[in-house]
Amino acid sequence: MNKILNYTICLFLLSLFSITNAVAQKTIMADGHWTKKNTTWDFQYNASITIDSGNKVSGFIVWRIVKTDNSAIAYYRGKLNMVAVENISGSYDPAQYHLQFEGTSKNDPNGIIGLDVYDLYLKNNNISGKTKAGGTWEGIFTGSYSTLGN
């Protein structure tokens, strides 16, 4: 049920974004998980990542925290399953299937996410890589994707 709600939110936001971005070349719809090395944190995400004809990246990630561990349990108490949206901007290297982007703003009334920096690769409908995670580069981003458009 939560995945359906996240996809509905993602599709709604995508439709609004598409209206204002008529030059978009393709959009990647991704879903998966983020965690941090040596933790059992689990943030699920649904993302809409648009790559324009100049390989500029824009879009958003809808985050939902589903699990934490003792290192952060006090902070996240009462926040499990809450949702936040991170807006992103960056670039894409099509020769390397390499996405680099960062969070530029967020809608996070419950304080469940921070803006991050992403270094990701696309391969065989999988998206994976690292995130800066507060300066450590220990964030682990994994998932799958499908492409809309060209």
Tell me the pLDDT of the chain averaged across its residues. Answer: 89
Residue-level pLDDT, tens digit, the chain, 150 residues: 565 555 556 555 555 454 444 554 899 999 999 999 999 999 999 999 999 999 999 999 999 999 999 888 899 999 999 999 999 999 999 999 999 999 999 999 999 999 999 999 999 999 999 999 989 999 999 999 999 876
What is the domain partition of the chain in residue ranges? 2-149
Contact between residue 61 and residue 104 where contact means Cβ atoms under 8 Å apart = no
**Running DSSP on this structure, what letter comes out for residue 8?**
H
Domain covering 2-149: architecture: Beta Barrel (2.40)
Report the predicted TM-score, pTM, of the whole model to 2 decimal places: 0.84
